[in-house]
Structure 1
Amino acid sequence: MQPLLAALAAVLVLALLAGLHYAFWTWRLRAPPIEDGIVHAPTRDGWVLALGRRRPRGVPRAPPVLLVHGIAMNRQTFEFGLVRWALADHLARAGFDCFSLDHRGHGASRRGPGASRRWNLDDYVREDIPAALDAIRRETGAERVLYVGHSQGGIMGLAACALYPDRIAAIAALGAPAHYDVQDRLKKLVALRFTWVGRFTRLAARMLAPFAGYWHPAVFDLAIQLRNVEPRVFRRLLANGLENLQPGVLSQFAAFIREDSFRSMDGKLDYRASLERCRQPALFLAAEKDGLAPPSVVQAAFRRWGGPKEYAIVGQGFGHADLLLGRSAPETVYPLVERFLLAHSREVAGASAPRAATDPK
């Protein structure tokens, strides 16, 4: 009996220490998103999505910008708590009204009564993106947006361009994989849908965050080149920007990889084939060392695109997530996106630049 009590006490002490560790480092590494407010976007199936708004700091331009995050991430990939690595802030200073989306189950989005706890990529493109577009129209009066998507957010945007051609004026797709014929290592990621690991990604990331940056596991190269990201930025990403991997989303990606396809889960809609019918201007941006969307994959989608298009590859050791958070991303990547959006926008007649706000550093 005595050994059992001792073991139980040890377990309780370890659980208490783990809880204190989680609470302290979540607080210590907290980096609130840089934004002017939250816009709520109700979906038809009961979710209430969150859009972080960053109003223009320069002479206002139109249309507004919708920014959409990648898999297992949230809007903080665009509204990072360090102003240097906040793409939304960078674009706001160029005059754009920016709205960064939290998909269902991510960030500040919340499930309404009766809404499903399970979803896949089709729900993002059929429910979440239309809800975000409607909310932006309600806030600004704009019928169309300029779309910026990273990774999964990029391919959802490419599909949305075909489904809602009158709502998206142009798209910048950053590290967006619409082909899956060369990414063998992705199979390890989607295999997580059969384990408990994916459901605790956010917890594990926050527990490991204070130790991050001191070693360089090769497995991380699939999603981020740690040598190209400042340790403080990586730690804050783990503590603030990561979300749980959703089984339905991983199952759909598993089908993409198995078939080298990009389609709806029921097989009725071929998203990849629809790229050829799109007519919006598009920027396809690839990273030299991206393990999830290698340059050849991004270029394959670029070749399929039916509208005016540009392709660019970022070298200097850039990987997947560091397209947004790399050491020199503000000088290397952000200007490419800004230049593209400026080319497909206009100044708002009669508007003047609002007074600059004081931003966190």
Structure 2
Amino acid sequence: MILHQAKVEQAINSDDRGRFVKELCVARVRGGGGSEVPLAMIRKRSAEESGTRASVLLIHGYGQNRYAWHLPSRSLANYLAASNFDVYNLDLRGHGRSRHLGARRPADVSEFVREDIPAAVEEIQRLSGPRPVFLIGHSLGGLVSYAAAPSLGDAAGGVVSIGSPYHFCRGSWPLTLAGYVMLGLDRRVSLGHGALALKSWGEVVRLMRVFVESPVFPLPIRGFLPGSMEPAVLSQHMSLAMDSGSITVLRNMFLAAAEARQSGHRLGGLSGFAEDFEAMDRPLLVIAGTADDLAPPASVEPAYERSRSSDKTYRAFPQGHIDLIMGRGATRIIWPLIERWVTRRAA
């Protein structure tokens, strides 16, 4: 359902601007007893073109929202729309505009997989036609894409994952240690099922950017490579894209990582979906950042290695976690890579 439509002029990157048709769309997950979960998507198309090459669905990561893909001064969503794609930028339940419409935090990350993505794809095909939809996910959004794509059948055109840790925590001792601390604490004093206020951390980073990017910053995890983003871009991301994360989802991801060290468990906190993903024969592009302190290549590349897709690609770039989609280098290398890759598969 389209709630609002307008023509806008917005930035693609820096001084590069474009004119777009912007729509606020709502997909609805139908639950028991007639209840519904509203999911908000911002749809963008070029105002200069009459048709589009393909439909793409952007799926943000843990504790973020649709602004992960679209900032006032830099927007991958607008770049793809200007490249003649029909772009849908989704707020998962409990995040961004979906939360404002009444969609509460998930009880389990599998709700994203079983309900949110199928409902979003169904609405996209209703609005844009029955052609396949390409899923593009960052971080947890990539894992959700892996897990959801097999059940979509021919409705999934392919999957692009960016900084998505198939083996969560692998290659990162700080994350492994954080997991032990969180799980140990939770056994003694329940951490509950509330929200983790990542927006507050974003404000700290925004206000103390110079210190956070300096060599004397004491924490081993920043979430981005220092100097990879202009101050304005980093500030906008921390102010707009940082949202609230579910403590339940994070607990489950750390539990899965702990199990993985003993049993070989994979696909983040979505282990029950791993076998179907690995058997799926759909185009797959896996992108990792060699400086990513949240999802290092050791945790990302196994998705490519274990996939039996006849059309799969793995690429690694000298980027961190956030700057894989919003860094200077991303605009020159990763954005065009995604555009070319989807264009060829859509054709």
Question: For each residue in 1:38-73, what CA deviation from the matched residue of structure 2 results, as whole angstroms up to 9, or x when unmatched?
Answer: 111111243211111111355633430101011111
Could you say if the C-alpha distance between residues 189 and 97 of structure 1 is closer, same or farther in structure 2, counting changes exceeding 3 Å? farther
Q: Helix, strand or coil for the counterpart of 1:229?
A: coil
The Cα shift of 1:75 comes to 0.7
* Partner residue in 1 for 2:228: 228
Alignment of 1:304-315 (within 5 A): 304-307=306-309, 308-315=311-318
| Mapped contact 2:56–2:87 kept (Cα < 8 A) | yes
Matched, 1:326 2:323: no
* Partner residue in 2 for 1:168: 156
Distance 1:89 1:110 in 2: 23
Distance 1:187 1:275 in 2: 25
Q: Helix, strand or coil for the counterpart of 1:228?
A: coil
| Mapped contact 1:75–1:100 kept (Cα < 8 A) | yes
Q: 1:99 aligns with which of 88, 98, 101?
A: 88
Alignment of 1:192-341 (within 5 A): 199-206=196-203, 209-216=206-213, 217=217, 219=219, 221-260=221-260, 261-262=265-266, 270-307=272-309, 308-315=311-318, 318-341=319-342
Higher mean C-alpha displacement, 173-182 vs 66-75: 173-182
* Partner residue in 2 for 1:185: 174
Question: For each residue in 1:82-140, what CA deviation from the matched residue of structure 2 results, as whole angstroms up to 9, or x when unmatched?
Answer: 1xx21111111111000011011111103777x76542210111111111111212211
Aligned-residue Cα RMSD (Å) equals: 2.6
Structure 1 unaligned regions, length at least 5: 1-33, 347-361
Q: Helix, strand or coil for the counterpart of 1:312?
A: strand
Matched, 1:49 2:39: yes
The Cα shift of 1:207 comes to 5.7
| Mapped contact 2:224–2:323 kept (Cα < 8 A) | yes
Give the counterpart letter for 1:119 in structure 2: A
Could you say if the C-alpha distance between residues 90 and 333 of structure 1 is closer, same or farther in structure 2, counting changes exceeding 3 Å? same
The Cα shift of 1:329 comes to 1.4
* Partner residue in 2 for 1:68: 59
User: Given the two structures, how large is their TM-score scaled by the length of structure 1?
Assistant: 0.77
Matched, 1:146 2:137: no
* Partner residue in 2 for 1:27: none
| Mapped contact 2:21–2:44 kept (Cα < 8 A) | yes
User: Given the two structures, how large is their TM-score scaled by the length of structure 2?
Assistant: 0.80
Distance 1:336 1:146 in 2: 14
The Cα shift of 1:165 comes to 2.2
| Mapped contact 2:221–2:294 kept (Cα < 8 A) | no
Could you say if the C-alpha distance between residues 206 and 112 of structure 1 is closer, same or farther in structure 2, counting changes exceeding 3 Å? same
* Partner residue in 1 for 2:8: none
Distance 2:315 2:166 in 1: 16
Could you say if the C-alpha distance between residues 275 and 118 of structure 1 is closer, same or farther in structure 2, counting changes exceeding 3 Å? closer
Could you say if the C-alpha distance between residues 208 and 330 of structure 1 is closer, same or farther in structure 2, counting changes exceeding 3 Å? closer
Give the counterpart letter for 1:272 in structure 2: A
Could you say if the C-alpha distance between residues 245 and 35 of structure 1 is closer, same or farther in structure 2, counting changes exceeding 3 Å? farther
The Cα shift of 1:222 comes to 4.8
Which of the two has higher C-alpha Rg? 1
* Partner residue in 2 for 1:38: 24
The Cα shift of 1:237 comes to 1.0
Question: For each residue in 1:298-347, what CA deviation from the matched residue of structure 2 results, as whole angstroms up to 9, or x when unmatched?
Answer: 221101112110111112xx11111011122110210111110111113x
Distance 2:226 2:276 in 1: 35
Task: Between the two structures, name the one with larger relative contact order (CA 8 Å, sep ≥ 6).
Answer: 1
The Cα shift of 1:189 comes to 5.2
Could you say if the C-alpha distance between residues 204 and 150 of structure 1 is closer, same or farther in structure 2, counting changes exceeding 3 Å? closer
Q: Helix, strand or coil for the counterpart of 1:110?
A: helix
Q: Helix, strand or coil for the counterpart of 1:88?
A: helix
| Mapped contact 2:212–2:222 kept (Cα < 8 A) | no
Q: 1:137 aligns with which of 98, 122, 125?
A: 125
The Cα shift of 1:198 comes to 5.5
The Cα shift of 1:214 comes to 4.4
Give the counterpart letter for 2:172 in structure 1: Q
Could you say if the C-alpha distance between residues 234 and 142 of structure 1 is closer, same or farther in structure 2, counting changes exceeding 3 Å? same
* Partner residue in 2 for 1:12: none
* Partner residue in 2 for 1:355: none
Give percent identity, aligned residues only.
27
Distance 2:146 2:57 in 1: 13
The Cα shift of 1:179 comes to 1.2
| Mapped contact 1:179–1:262 kept (Cα < 8 A) | yes
| Mapped contact 1:47–1:110 kept (Cα < 8 A) | no
Aligned length: 306
Give the counterpart letter for 2:339 in structure 1: E
| Mapped contact 1:225–1:319 kept (Cα < 8 A) | yes
Distance 2:27 2:128 in 1: 14
Could you say if the C-alpha distance between residues 208 and 286 of structure 1 is closer, same or farther in structure 2, counting changes exceeding 3 Å? closer
